[in-house]
């Protein structure tokens, strides 16, 4: 049996994680598999409605979400700090789908 305590510090962390997941989903929707995008291009590609709903996002939130997605292998970055670009990585096929492809 798990017992969770919900003090103010934990709830703010949980809320922040939920916000960052929403930001990561939006980043994955925005980025292309073919054209690398700079931080400014990513921000400009966000919907106006999304930005109005989530006006509490900061520059650091966007950078940390990009870093987490890159660490998970969903994005690839290139360039230096000022001219850094990101591109989506096409997901690899699983072993089962590759084996089924060979059997056809």
pLDDT of residue 11: 46
Q: What is the mean pLDDT of each run of 10 residues along the chain (104 residues)?
A: 41 53 92 92 92 90 94 92 89 82 80
Domain boundaries, the chain: 8-103
16: left (phi over 0), alpha (psi -120 to 50) or beta: alpha
pTM greater than 0.75 (yes/no) = no
Distance CA 35, CA 16 (A): 30
The CATH fold of domain 8-103: Arc Repressor Mutant, subunit A (1.10.10)
């Amino acid at each position: 049996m798990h017992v969770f305590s919900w003090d103010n510090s934990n709830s703010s962390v949980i809320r922040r994680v939920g916000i960052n997941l929403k930001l990561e989903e939006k980043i994955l929707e925005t980025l292309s598999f073919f054209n690398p995008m700079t931080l400014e291009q990513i921000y400009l590609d966000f919907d106006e409605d999304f930005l109005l709903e989530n006006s509490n996002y900061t520059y650091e939130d966007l950078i940390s979400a990009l870093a987490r997605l890159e660490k998970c292998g969903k994005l690839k970055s290139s360039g230096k700090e000022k001219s850094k670009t990101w591109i989506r990585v096409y997901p690899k096929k699983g072993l089962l789908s590759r084996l089924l492809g060979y059997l056809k």
